[in-house]
A = this chain, B = another copy of it.
């Protein structure tokens, strides 16, 4: 089924991604190894024992709309309630609202395991956590008092309502309307699509975060406000009042994550949905960005979680299934396919991609955490920049890797991989949404190139590359033959990243925006691949205190990644440097006419 890789997760948190920096920080005096290990072990147990068995049940059952209400798969309610009783919902929320105030790194680790258990299950609470974060930063004390504790505990769940049919990636085009009411509240009208957990039967109330425009709002994104719209109105004593004017108009039939209801929501069909402003009028986008940045990392973690599950699934199959005779295998009968070189290549590719996704996501969480605990402005600016830089990489690389790993998992299963009963196909169908939502990976790449490369006048990315080179030098200095060609491949990969970065910075400074955008996707991939190689090597370098077999395993993984996947950077670099003219000249509209 799924065995939570707690040891690997703890190692990656502590030795590769800097959890120790947080443990040494007075803000997290509570964060001893015992607590960390207890949380990881218990989250892993819950993910493997309580969530994982529901994954295929939910895939088959889906979330049908019955008499205007969404019904969740069998076992879903029980698992969710066990989950909130375990206190998992409030891991990172502020203690004054019932949260545990733990760092994002631990949340990332736990979320990885829940997503391995079931991505469709884990995404619901992810949205609630986003709503909590937006409210903690932007909501009035009154709203906080009324809603936050129950959202933090998970007694109620939250949603994010951005998308409309004509406004997906481009929020300028939002049309949902809001009107001011006499009592200081608002009325919201409009249709929203693709609302994850927009309706369900897991909790008694659902708190919707809705973007809409006031009548006198400026056009574009500067005229968008954020509103809280509860499914049931909440009385002053906290009890539930009447049903609000919001209903679910449909549930999408999707390629994957069938256990996660994706709803079309209609607000204000019967006079207006009662709504309360979060933050200031026309400043809704800023509030939403609070939710979106963390949501982007959370989606990266989905890619990671599914990758780990798919890898374990394929590994188990490859060890059991026997076909043919592997070279050098002198045992009786057919070989387990895990002994065939081509299957080994695929398994290594799955494992190394998964470990890269893990390290990149945790490194991103680390940067967010550091920005919250350092006490001087220079460091804070640095860690803010680092989190900003890593967020699009963590989102896009990990979700692309999630799809690649799940697809390799299908391939390793051969014909059985295409049969739904096997479960390998579900991982691929589930994983395929992650490169799309929370900003497509194309948009992440554009964000990286247009907004993140210029941070600190282009110096932040250069410092980042220097850090990678530092790791490469350590690999070289280690003089360990077990690293094979890892050192030279890592140096070459980072060099490709440097040249691509120079090209991008020059294009930006010369105003050649189309040139920069043409290479954005391969640029993000180079950056992710090089960072991944460095982090895998760092893990191999830092595992000298581990048992020798673990160190050998980590070194082999880093080496094989550098010798196989990292070679991609050469082609990506030449792509970036060469292809902008052809891409710009391509006239798709002429072909379609």
Contact = CB atoms under 8 A, between A and B. Distances in A.
Interface in A429-453: 429, 432-433, 435-437, 440-442, 445-446
Interface string A568-593: 11111111001111111110110110
Interface in A316-357: 316, 318-319, 322-324, 327-328, 334, 336, 338-348, 351
A315 B592 contact: yes
A411 to B, nearest CB: 6
Given A436-B417, A560-B582, A570-B567, A429 B255 contact: yes
B574 A571 contact: no
A484 B169 contact: no
Contacts of A433: 418
A189 B518 CA distance: 60
Given A168-B415, A403-B407, A315 B514 contact: no
Contact of A418 (B254, B319, B342, B560): B254
Nearest to A529: B571
Given A436-B415, A436-B418, A514-B327, A578 B485 contact: yes
A563 B579 contact: yes
Contacts of A324: 169-170, 172
Contact of A440 (B414, B436, B485, B574): B414
A27 interface: no
Interface in A86-128: none
Contacts of A360: none
A297 to B, nearest CB: 20
B583 A344 contact: yes
Interface in A154-210: 163, 166, 168-170, 172-173, 193-194
A446 B518 CA distance: 36
A532 to B, nearest CB: 14
Contacts of A274: none
Interface string A548-576: 00000100100110011111111111110
Contacts of A489: 574, 578
A145 interface: no
Contact of A316 (B340, B432, B585, B592): B592
Contacts of A315: 588, 591-592
Interface stretch (A32-40, A75-83, A280-288, A420-428): A420-428
B411 A319 contact: no
Interface in A274-327: 315-316, 318-319, 322-324, 327
Contact of A414 (B168, B252, B342, B420): B168
A327 B586 contact: no
Contacts of A166: 322
Given A344-B583, A571-B569, A591-B315, A432 B418 contact: yes
Contacts of A536: none
Contact of A334 (B170, B414, B564): B170
Given A560-B586, A563-B579, A432 B410 contact: yes
Contacts of A420: 253-255
A520 interface: yes
Nearest to A574: B567
A456 interface: no
Nearest to A585: B556
A441 B343 CA distance: 11
Closest 10 CB pairs of A and B: A567-B571, A570-B570, A338-B588, A560-B582, A255-B425, A341-B517, A342-B442, A563-B579, A170-B323, A563-B578
29 contacts: A166-B322, A169-B323, A169-B324, A169-B414, A170-B323, A173-B334, A194-B415, A254-B420, A255-B418, A255-B420, A255-B425, A336-B589, A342-B521, A343-B588, A345-B521, A346-B442, A347-B586, A407-B432, A410-B436, A411-B436, A411-B441, A414-B436, A418-B433, A553-B591, A560-B579, A563-B582, A567-B572, A567-B573, A567-B575
Given A341-B584, A415-B436, A560-B579, 5 more contacts: A253-B421, A254-B418, A344-B518, A563-B574, A567-B570
